[in-house]
Structure 1
């Protein structure tokens, strides 16, 4: 009976999340739309799952037909999550498949929008940048600094940079949506009496050592094309470099959790180290050193 009421509640939450996409909160709720589908598909058999979501779709479609398209878009990753949870697959495998499916959906959506609906991503980005920088441009014109404060050239450069980082933004969006979904699904399913494999403790996180070679490759490519007009290579460097830096940030955070575990520090200490790691990019050197050298083995050996 508890499971029945809980799943019914999640159906209502699913409907509310769909309806929230036309509100200013959509930038937050969009990251949660995979959650109810994953929970319902894991907790219920396929027939019961359909019975739970069909009324939600009907109500949403009656209010606004566009809601049904959004529901279909977020249904696929939700089913992937739910299927993997049903099979009790390792958490890392769930994250990998989740990121891959969400990223693939974004690419397909972009391709369909461009091909069939004549959506110009460049024009859309240009409108957003123009709208965002308009106050800066006006401030420069009206101030004693004149046009030196913010020029049209600055706006054009920002637009080009934004267009370059579209792949990075898509990957990060898929990553965040997947992490948020898994972080919320696991305790929810556990409270419903359904166990889901958890991620390894942060102190055991280790990135592939091959990332060091990728980082060196991208670094030397960035030096080689500094004065080049090769837009494709600039695009690769602009997206690969921040992604690799994020990987090293995660590695550094894992190292501090390992160090805190070995030294018996308070659990909040490694969490606080995330602040300088994120705000001070050179701190990734800790992750690079940890990946390049056997620091953890040395610390464990010294402890013994």
Structure 2
């Protein structure tokens, strides 16, 4: 028992030292810090995957204290976000949960941390970075228009209106951006950290093949209802319902797109097509909106009419 406690303390101390080094690199080395920050959750994953939640909580508190010592108050939100996310992921790894469950749980925890910290920054410190960014963006548009007018060039009003509409849309879709950014960051964290965990003997469940992934059919109904609501309700821009419908539709459209890509992968696999087909289709969808719509429609049809099942019956 004593040896076990000693091992836990030693392991915790080593991992805390590693976390401190990673945090210092994140805070004080520009460029490299952008990459290193994705590894901040690694010590928390490694520790919590082997120990219970009480020990992981103590480890997290110690990491927060170290963050305050070696950094500033700005280091605490970073340590808290990546620390809690890493602990949740590590605990779920220790319980043998599936990769999908780990990914969703980690993303939701990261999202919750981000939202709470953003709300605290706005309420207590009057720091609204999103609003400041949007104001700066609007000012840059006005400055550019003013410079063109001073140079004697005519500014197309439709272009200015398009930029202003973009700013309004960005402001409306900010909740969706929070969600998608959280899921993307956690995906990158897992992509980079899980191979390291395996190297140190931590057993991590494998992802199911991308081609076998499929969304719940209920999401299709949510998508259709949101689409109908956006077409017939048409709430006033800036209202709560406009905000809710726009964000819900945006997220669901993205999920239908993912479903479409999984079907392309599913269809390509038995045909023996190269995996480059999927990569090329993703690139084309990003570059060409028409391809994007086709892939999304493909995802809707696959989800609604069980294309995969029908293909299997024909074999």
Instruction: After TM superposition, give the deviation of residue 192 of structure 1 in Å.
Output: 1.7
Q: How many Å separate the matches in 2 of 1:219 and 1:255?
A: 22
- Structure 1 position 107 matched with structure 2 position 118: no
TM-score, reference length from structure 2: 0.79
Distance 2:229 2:63 in 1: 54
State the Cα deviation string for residues 123-150 of structure 1 (Å, max 9, x = none). Answer: 4233332355356334532455434368
User: Could you give the per-residue CA deviations for residues 168-224 of structure 1, whole angstroms, max 9, x where no partner exists?
Assistant: 111011101221122223222222222211221111100011122111111111112
Q: Which moved more, 1:109-118 or 1:148-157?
A: 148-157
The alignment's TM-score, normalised by the length of structure 1, stands at 0.82
Tell me how far apart the structure 1 counterparts of residues 283 and 98 of structure 2 sit (CA, whole Å). Answer: 29
Give the distance between the partners of 1:124 and 1:214, measured in 2 at CA: 33
- Which of 18, 21, 35 matches 2:27? 21
Query: Which deviations, in whole Å up to 9, do the C-alpha atoms of 1:4-40 show, x marking residues without a partner?
Result: 99x9589536523444235543555544433342234
Number of aligned residues: 300
String of CA shifts for 1:19-72, please: whole Å, max 9, x gaps: 423554355554443334223432577769968995896376234343244212
Structure 2 residue aligned with 1:12? 18
List alignment gaps of at least 5 residues for structure 1: none
Give 1:87 deviation, angstroms: 1.1
Does structure 2 conserve the Cα–Cα contact (< 8 Å) formed by 1:99 and 1:178?
A: yes
Match of 2:41 in 1: 34
Counterparts in 2 of 1:78 and 1:51: CA distance versus 1, 3 Å: closer
Q: Of 46, 52, 74, which aligns to 1:66?
A: 74
Say whether the 8 Å CA contact 2:212–2:266 is kept in structure 1: yes
- CA distance in 2 between counterparts of 1:24 and 1:164 reads 31
Q: CA RMSD in A?
A: 3.4
2:92 paired residue number:
84
Tell me: CA distance 1:103–1:145, structure 2 relative to 1, closer, same or farther (3 Å).
same
In structure 2, what is the Cα distance between the partners aligned to 1:145 and 1:165?
A: 33
Contact 1:18 1:67 in 2 (8 A): no
Q: Is residue 2:127 matched to residue 1:119?
A: yes
State yes or no: 1:194 paired with 2:202.
yes
Measure the CA separation in 2 of the matches of 1:28 and 1:268: 26
Alignment of 1:167-182 (within 5 A): 167-182=175-190
Structure 2 SS opposite 1:83: helix
The question of 1:281 aligning with 2:292 is answered yes
| 1:302 and 2:294 matched | no
